[in-house]
Amino acid sequence: MKNIDFVGLWCLICAFVLFCSTPVVGRAEESSVIVEKNLFSPDRKPPEQSTTSEINTSEPFENEDLQLYGIIIYETPRGLEKKAILSVNKKFLPPDIEDRYLFVKEGESIGPFKVVSIEKNKISVEYSEKSYVISLYSPAKKNTSPPPPIPAPLQPHPSEKEKSEPAREGRISFEEFKRLSPEEKEKLIERMKQAFVERMEKMSEKESKNEK
């Protein structure tokens, strides 16, 4: 009887030792997952939020919100270069755009407006999946004066000396313009842009004084 009790006790001790030495794989894996995803970890950071300001493209715009003040078309080695001079209401533009008059190429976008095509007296614009035509001399604009034109011939038959001279300030003939290098054409366009902006600012100041 004592032998039987001793054997039973020995079997119970062996079973307890085996139970304690068996690795608990499932619990260890669960613990590692909890450590990795610890909600109270000091290293956790809040999700980053986008700082990009979104422009509301569902808001309808009036004629005064998008105005066409000029069109520049000139020839380059790559073909015709077309630019539109636009005035866009600030509420449709990102905060980093502060210019009052914007020079936009064909195919470019400014805010929610995309200039699809530029013609001699008008442009086609896409806004909120709809197409609009903006005329150059729209009656809705307060100021309908066109910008300084490029093709403004001064002399119908320039002399040989004038042909070899670089472009002069101000107006030049179309033949003179065609003989300019691409760099000279770009410089001339930039000067015309600056002249246009200065002209429009002076006219705006004059209108403000008249209103007072």
The Cα 56–Cα 71 span in angstroms is: 27
Domain boundaries, the chain: 63-211
The residues, any chain, with a CB within 8 Å of residue 185's CB and separated by 6 or more, are: 74, 76, 177
Per-residue confidence band for 117, with pLDDT thresholds at 50, 70 and 90? very high
The rounded Cα 174 to chain-centroid distance in angstroms is 34
Q: What is the pTM of this model?
A: 0.46
C-alpha pair distances (Å), 56 with each of 34, 92, 158: 43, 8, 53
- Residues 69, 101: contact at Cβ < 8 Å? yes
CATH 2.30.30.830 given to domain 63-211: yes
Q: Under 8 Å CB-to-CB from 201, ≥6 apart: which residues?
A: 100
39-82 per-position pLDDT tens digit: 444 554 544 543 334 445 556 677 778 888 888 887 777 888 88
Please, what is the Cα angle at 132 between 126 and 133, to 5 degrees?
125
pLDDT > 70 in the chain, percent: 45
